[in-house]
Amino acid sequence: MRITVTVNGQPHTRDVEPRLLLVHFLRDELGLTGTHWGCDTSNCGVCTVHLDGVPVKSCTVLAVMADGHEVTTVEGLERDGELDVVQRGFVECHGLQCGFCTPGMLLTARWLLDRRPDPDEAEIREAISGQLCRCTGYENIVRSIRWAAEAQS
């Protein structure tokens, strides 16, 4: 089936099987390996991307479901060579250790701050509750998102 998905502002047209999952479309068809592929069961959240501006777990979305829609991956957070403020927060506050959960965490953090520019710690923890950090580095992830909230205010 021929689909066109706009990823990080660029339309991409490919012939795909309906059973192809969005995460594999992004990684294998488009080479955007910033989106990680983890538990494959919609539990861990490393595959989180924005679909029409809303975070979804791309291991549980078919690529054909994104046909005609807009996807943002971690590669799309940077603008004109400038890291997004949430990326800067993770740098400043050591928000990553192995980095496996980081792309999903960043996209959820961006979405959270778009909706709630000044979230408290409980709101941040709730927002990332569908994402597992294998290093258990949640303290610094929460600090990083708080840093970003303050930096963008």
Partner 1 sequence: MQVPATFAYERADSVPHALELLERYGPEARVVAGGHSLIPMMKLRLAQPEALIDINGLAAELGRIAVEGDELAIGAMVRHAELLESATATGLFPIFQDAERVIADPIVRNRGTVGGSLCQGDPSEDLSAVFAALRATAVVQGPGGTRTVPIRRFHQGPYETAVAPNELLIELRVPVVPGAGSAYEKVERRVGDWPVAAAGAVLRVEGGVIAQAGIGLTAVGAGHFCAPEAEAHLVGRPPGEEAFARAGRIAAEHCEPHADQRGPADYKRHLAAELTRRALAGAAGRI
- Binding site residues, partner 1, CB under 8 A: 1, 17-19, 21, 40-43, 45, 48, 54-57, 60-62, 64-65, 67, 108, 126-127, 129-131
Residue with Cβ nearer partner 1 (57 or 143): 57
Structure token pair of residue 51: 């679909």
Residue with Cβ nearer partner 1 (94 or 116): 116
- Dihedral angle at the C-alpha atoms of 49, 109, 142, 93, nearest 10 degrees? 90
Q: How far is the CB of 80 from partner 1 (least distance, A)?
A: 28
For the chain, state the CA radius of gyration.
Answer: 15
Q: 17 near 1, Cβ under 8 Å?
A: yes
Rounded Cα distance between 82 and 67, Å, is 29
Residue with Cβ nearer partner 1 (62 or 83): 62
Q: How far is the CB of 17 from partner 1 (least distance, A)?
A: 7
